[in-house]
Amino acid sequence: MILLWLFFIFITCAATSLILCYVAKTLFPRFRSGEHKPGTHRPDLPVAVAGRSDQSIAGREIKTTELPLVGGPALTLAIICAGIGAGYFLKFKSDQWTILLISLGAIFGYMVVGFLDDWHKVYRNEGIAERTKFTGVFLVSVLAALCYFFLLPAGREAYGPYKDLPLLGNLICSSPSTTDGICPVAFPHFAYFGWLIFLMLLTGCIGSLTSLSVDFSDGFDGLAGGLVFSSALAFGIIITGILTNKHPEGIVLEVLSLLCAGAILGYLPWNWPSSWAARRGTAKRRARIIMGDSGALSLGGALAMIAIFSRNEWSLLLIGGAFV
What is the pLDDT, as a whole number, of residue 246?
A: 85
Per-residue pLDDT reduced to its tens digit, 119-152 = 999 998 888 999 999 999 999 999 999 999 999 9
Q: What average pLDDT does this structure show over 259-282?
A: 78
Least confident of 18-32, 59-73, 211-225, 269-283: 269-283
What is the pLDDT, as a whole number, of residue 176?
A: 66
Per-residue pLDDT reduced to its tens digit, 205-231 = 999 999 999 999 887 878 889 999 999
Tell me phi and psi for residue 158, to 5 degrees. -75, 145
Per-residue pLDDT reduced to its tens digit, 43-59 = 444 444 444 444 444 44
Per-residue pLDDT reduced to its tens digit, 165-204 = 888 988 998 876 665 678 999 999 999 999 999 999 999 9
| Contact between residue 28 and residue 73 where contact means Cβ atoms under 8 Å apart | no
Task: Measure the CA angle with vertex 286, ends 283 and 289; round to 5°.
Answer: 145
Asked if pLDDT for residue 20 goes beyond 60, the answer is: yes
pTM of the model: 0.88
Q: Where are the domains of the chain?
A: 8-29+42-153+211-323
- From CA 118, how far away is CA 72, in angstroms rounded? 10
